[in-house]
Amino acid sequence: MPEANIAKTTKHLGVRLEDSWHAFRERNARGRGMAVNVLPSRGYGLAGADDGWVRVFARIVLAPRGAFDNGELDARIVSDGVRGWRNFIASPIPFAEVVATVGGQEFTVDADRGGVLDARIPASLTPGWHSITLRCEDSEPSVAEVFVVDGDVDFGLLSDIDDTVMVTALPRPFLAAWNSFVLDEHARAATPGMAVMMERLMRARSASPVLYLSTGAWNVAPTLARFLSRNLYPDGALLLTDWGPTEGRWFRSGMKHKVDQLRRLASEFPTMRWLLVGDDGQHDPEIYAEFAKRYPQNVRAIVIRQLTPSEAVLAGGRSQGTVDSTPGVPWVYATDGAQIIAELEKLGLVEADERRTGEPG
């Protein structure tokens, strides 16, 4: 039997079914004259003349002509409120070949089997925000913003999204489906005080990276980016995943996704000390504790937003305390951003608010 056929028969059934579904949707979309679109998402990178790089994210899809402008839906649709199901309509292009222009150089990179581009590209860029141009086939050029970090920067902020910066009551299945497919994006509620906390934290750290880690699908990246911007959270890259099957599972593991991304960051930024922000609804404390034990030199502190009793019930209960498992790494447990700020002041991570303390300005 040819090797290609052997490889095909050994694929997980879920993978084979999904690949067939994607192939059918792509053929159908191309037959209807749909246009190729590159939907970019913010990325990040490391400055360096010889060893610099950027990590670029995007989705490559087929959609009606004019449906997207640089990866964004028509402004009138967004202003009216985008229902979650709209994020899952466009047909992905598996293994799409994308041309990325970085610092005047062109690189050819490939999307994965779900049409998601996650590529690390060598680049000699200065610290700060940069624009990367992406094209696929005859698509209009799209621009992905990447934040390049100086190698001397030793502080970064990484935050969970669900029930940390956004009240979602995940991960109960029916509520997850409602929030992802039905809910109007303008109805999503920001967690009280968390945007202010992050702004205070990053006010004097403009050279530090901000990353948002979530088990959400890449389909919802534009919605999440608009939510973060609308609620005045610091600009940063999204680290999302794919809800489809893998070679060994019917569904991807959200915990494994978070663990893998954290370990990757430890490898990419070996001298960076992260402030890890999450909630106690499910597994954030355990994931962060495991990371702190494995990479204590890469953790400045762990911040856990405590859910209200009703949120805890919807989220499936609270995680057990893990504070004592990471000696030397401070933990902050608080119910909202204001209380977290007070605790971060004690750790010297946020300057005291003179208006609140009554000290002269």
**Do 206 and 292 fall within a single domain?**
yes
* 252 and 142 share one domain: no
Are 129 and 168 part of one and the same domain? no
- Tell me how long the chain is: 361
Specify whether 246 is located in the same domain as 209: yes
Q: How many CB atoms are closer than 10 A to CB 347? A: 13
- How many domains does the chain fold into? 2
Residues of the chain with pLDDT under 70: 1-10, 12, 71-88, 169-187, 243-254, 282, 308-321, 323-324, 353-361
Q: Of the residues 149, 166, 181, which one is the last residue of a structural domain?
A: 149
Cβ-contact 173, 208 below 8 angstroms:
no
Residue range 316-350, pLDDT digits in tens = 444 555 766 888 899 999 989 999 999 999 999 99
Please count the other Cβ atoms lying within 10 Å of the Cβ belonging to residue 212.
25
The DSSP secondary structure of 61-85, one letter per residue, reads EEE-TTSEETTEE-HHHHHH--BGG
Please indicate, yes or no, whether residues 79 and 40 belong to a single structural domain of this protein.
yes
How far lies 325's CA from each of 277, 289, 299, 319, in Å?
Answer: 17, 7, 14, 14
Question: Is 11 in the same domain as 88?
Answer: yes
Q: Show the CA angle centred on residue 236, arms to residues 330 and 305, nearest 5°.
A: 35
CA 109 from centre of chain: 20
Distance from chain centroid for Cα 235: 12
pTM equals 0.85
Where would I find the H helices in 183-283? Answer: 194-202, 221-230, 254-268
Which CATH number characterizes residue 177's domain?
A: 3.40.50.1000
- For tokens 């030397």, the residue is 328
Residues 102 and 161 placed together within one structural domain of the fold:
no
Instruction: Say whether 118 sits in a helix, a strand or coil.
Output: strand
Taking only the tens place, the pLDDT of each residue in 147-187 is 999 999 999 999 999 889 988 755 545 555 555 554 555 66
The answer to whether residues 163 and 133 belong to one domain is: no
Q: Are residues 13 and 159 in the same domain?
A: no
Chain position carrying tokens 């919802």 = 220
Compute the 3-state secondary structure of the chain and give helix, strand, coil in percent, each to the nearest 5.
35, 30, 35
Q: Give the range of the structural domain holding residue 329, as residue numbers without chain letter.
A: 155-357
> Does 192 lie in the same domain as 334?
yes
Distance CA 249, CA 13 (A): 9
